[in-house]
Amino acid sequence: MLLSGIQKFSMLDFPGKTSCVVFTLWCNMRCSFCHNPDFVLPEWVKKQMWNLISEQAFFHFLESRKWLLEWVSICWGEPTLQKDLYSFCKKVKDMWFYVKLDTNGRNPEILQKLIEDNLLDYVAMDIKNPLGKFSEITWTQESENPYKESLATLLEGKIDYEFRTTVIKKFHSLENIIEIWKNIYWAKNYYLQNFRPGKTLDKNFEWEGFTEAELLHMKTRLQPYVKNIWIRT
Ligand code: SF4
């Protein structure tokens, strides 16, 4: 595993639960609003190769926090690109931690295998835009099929999950969010995750998130369509 960083303690990744967050290197998307270009763009990724955390150091850390931590969250870049993700999750599970995976949903086979083999306890999957309109945001030419497969796998409900969209005024009209929701009507949880300004992959990115009042308005308008919708600011 190419581990680019660890947040050693969090009560926010899973509100009310103790977790550590481990970050991976590399991603197969190029979202213009991405806050982590250092872990995504090839020229930066090369530099990060000198600063990686060894698996040995990570598991040593984890062993020392068994008394404190319940969850291990595996996050960006895109963890399913890591060729030894399976064995990594297995080691974490064998130590009796719960495992959360954040994914962009582009590798459905890997997601399915991890779920089938009980190596995940929770998945947070991004839905960047309505299916068929991903490339407006991800800067990659996309077929809808892998995302449909990942959505279907999670909608089966074998494990807990959430879908989430980072909402940006330029891209996410109410109609767009309704279009997203049409594919996930029975979802357990859907989060409108507000875009926060900061460092972005597109240096000229100038778009904004929503105000809290606008998000609440959006949530109210969506409620006839969307069952379990939440706001994350
Ligand atoms: S926002 Fe996530 S999916 Fe998009 S480029 Fe960044 S790490 Fe990859």
**In whole angstroms, how far apart are CA 46 and each of 4, 56, 216?**
11, 21, 41
196-226 tens-digit pLDDT:
988 899 888 888 999 999 999 998 888 777 7
CA-nearest residue, atom 6 of ligand 1 = 34
* DSSP helix/strand/coil, 55: helix
CA-nearest residue, atom 1 of ligand 1 = 34
Mean pLDDT of the chain, nearest integer: 91
Q: What is the pLDDT of residue 102?
A: 97
8-26 tens-digit pLDDT:
999 988 878 999 999 999 8
138-150 tens-digit pLDDT:
888 778 899 999 9
Domains of the chain: 3-232 (3.20.20.70)
User: Does 99 sit in the ligand 1 pocket, CB within 6 Å?
Assistant: no
Q: What is the pLDDT of residue 14?
A: 83
Pocket test for ligand 1, best of 73, 75, 76 (most atoms within 8 A of CB): 76
DSSP line for 10-37: ESTTTTTS-EEEEEE---S---TT-S-G
User: Does 77 sit in the ligand 1 pocket, CB within 6 Å?
Assistant: yes
CA of 140 to the centre of ligand 1 (A): 11
CA of 126 to the centre of ligand 1 (A): 9
This prediction has a pTM of: 0.94
Share of the chain above pLDDT 70, in %: 100
CA of 76 to the centre of ligand 1 (A): 7
